[in-house]
Structure 1
Amino acid sequence: MDINDLRSIVTTVSFLTFVGIVVWAWSKSNQPDFDEAAQLPFKED
Structure 2
Amino acid sequence: MDIISILRILFTLLTFVLFVVIAVWAWRNRNSAQFKDAQNLPFDED
TM-score (norm: length of structure 2): 0.83
Taking only the aligned residue pairs, the percentage that are identical comes to: 44
- For structure 2, the 5+ residue unaligned runs are none
Q: Return the offset for 1:4.
A: 1.1
Residue in structure 2 matched with residue 9 of structure 1 by the alignment: 10
Q: Secondary structure at the match of 1:44?
A: coil
Residue 18 of structure 1 is matched in structure 2 by 19
Q: Which runs of 5+ in 1 are unaligned?
A: none
Number of aligned pairs?
A: 45
User: What TM-score do the two structures reach when normalised by structure 1?
Assistant: 0.85
Give structure 1 regions of 4+ aligned residues with deviation exceeding 6 angstroms: none
